[in-house]
Structure 1
Amino acid sequence: MRINVVTCNFENNGGGVPHRWERMHQRLRSLKPSLLFRQEMWGSEHEGSLVAYRAENVLGLRGWLGQGASTAVFADTELLTPVREWQERGNPWVMPPTALTLRLNPAGRTPCPSWRPPSTSTTPHPHAARPKRSG
């Protein structure tokens, strides 16, 4: 299985020049990304997120637009399933990232292995660093 991850910082989202925007998104599509990270998504949230939905259609990927339309994540939902979106809550980001959890479909429905609290036993893990002996 191959997962193709692409990132693109497209200055000012093409600067309002339609042919520049179209050419960049066709180029991105030609890379066949499984996961695409976009920066400078300015204006994508206007007019009912028209530009964001247009990007989804051109790329053939599902997209999530971050707070303030500064970033976006696009994913191939045949390979990756969204599990959770993480909302920005008072952190110091000037341009907050788009944050979400995606599950790799071939890995199964459980997004991560079962977690258990550490054991209270005194038996060290076999790979744990052993204390140095003095003397």
Structure 2
Amino acid sequence: MTRVLVTARDGSFAARGQVAPTGGTAVVDRIETSAAHRRRGLGRLVVHALCEDALARGATTGVLGGTPDGRALYEALGWRAEAPLVSLRHAATDRTGHGGSHRGRPPADTGRRREPPPRGLAPRG
């Protein structure tokens, strides 16, 4: 993984991003520019540096999950939307049905009926 961090002259955060090449595909992630430093080309600088690094490592395809705020930047840099992105979160529950942290363990059995996964998506075992 490669991370890029841009700081202001006073050392404060200005922009950042990271890329993780996985063979021919590189996942670009966590692109962010501080509100105080937007519209100065820092997002472009970060994305360009990350893409150059991924290309040097053999990636030929990039994957990026961006926000609507960043879409204009990414499209200006040659990225194109392939599909809408849906962000989902699953909160584990304890035996009483209340939220809780299971620290990587599966949630306790709550006695509720669990639907089997869709055909073809069953966990490997």
Q: TM-score range by the shorter chain?
A: 0.3 to 0.5
- Bigger Rg over Cα: 1
Query: Greater helix share, 1 or 2?
Result: 1
TM-score, scaled relative to structure 2: 0.34
TM-score, scaled relative to structure 1: 0.32
